[in-house]
Amino acid sequence: MGQQRTLISILFIALMGVAMPSHALLPEADAQGHIVPSLAPMLEQVSPAVVNIATTARVRQRNPLLEDPFFKRFFNLPNQPQQERRTTSAGSGVIVDAREGYVLTNAHVIDGAEEVEITLKDGRSFTAEVIGVDREVDLAVVQVEADGEDLSEITIADSTGLRVGDFVIAIGNPFGLGQTVTSGIVSALGRTGLGIEGYENFIQTDASINPGNSGGALVNLRGELIGINTAIIAPAGGNVGIGFAIPTEMAVNVMQQLIEHGEVRRGVLGVTIQDLSPELAEAFGIERQRGVVITQVMDDSAASDAGLEAGDVVVEVDGVPVKRSSDLRNKVGLSPVGERVTLKVIRDGNARKVEAVIRETSELTASGADVSQYLEGASLRNLREGELPHASAGVLVESVEQGSPAWRAGVRTGDVIINANRQEISDMESLAEAIPEKDDGILLRINRNGGIFFVVIR
């Protein structure tokens, strides 16, 4: 019987070796001399680079009734001092540069934190400084002062080589239990349109990811980082095998900009786009039915300088297929200003390649915090004449940080503010005039792709 189990183990290792690197699933002998496969040798090398993150923050305690401006006016209530309480939370992170002490994690793990403490697997703890945060992608970089300390860093792999069915391991700190390892496979790639982040291109995995795993490592069987664990779909409140990780393809770009600039400096191409539908493909005389149609090219933009035209169908960027609008938006939004990109477009049935240089927006973008505390986290600018077919005037929301008051109220990137506190809005100046200095909330009327609705931000 023992010989049979040994033969089965050897056969299992041989079969798994077809799909796995030989050094990832190493054979080990148990106490009875049976050969069994194990991930332990690889994890012993990788797990010291995955850390626990504990944060402390102050949050404002809210009473919706006392914050409602109409309720306060009706009952003639005085302004109440804001009550605050201290909160703590736990998450995970990955050491990406041991010499400099850089740790990559999720933005929501350290969002609003006054104190950030990093704990290594061996129990050592360090106070960390926040270097930069990008809420649009949900990534952040923190740094520990660990002079002379022996830190371990993780090797970063190129996630573009991933395939559905590849084995992966998630390492993190679920429910604050301490470092935990789970395994699974890549269930899907390129998940977008989930509304979790501003820029989405998730790896989906069935490796268990739970609260506290956020910011932890998703690694391949070589022990290389391929993603940062970020979110789950949990309709019943627990893990159901649908987890999402930010691929290193996106994370490395953002991480480098956060380290260099403390922020992500996103560029623009200067076009409006829509997905290529079967009806549009037939109208344009195109056989393929996946791509992005340019509906408008802005004057004096990177797109106009490159010679792009309305009606062009973008099918590739830098050799990577473009199947939907989010593919092009991700590529442009995650490319640093000044980067040259090559677009393959179909025009009048003929394919051609066009080079464009990503530009910094030439329009003056203002911080919403300069207008009102309730617009903090939003970037605003005047709507250009003819820029959008569904709006002729107003203030365009260039971006809005996830978790900000505007985001929680339902304001999203691309919305046009046309009315504030029942006053018509034509530009930034009129928006500022419509909102008093000591505002008790804002009533906005929003134009989103031609649909008009109200939002209340408190």
Residues identified as active-site: 108, 138, 214
- Partners of residue 4 on adjacent β-strands: none
Indicate the residue type of 14: A
d(CA 373, CA 437): 9
Which residues are bridge partners to 183 per DSSP?
A: 169
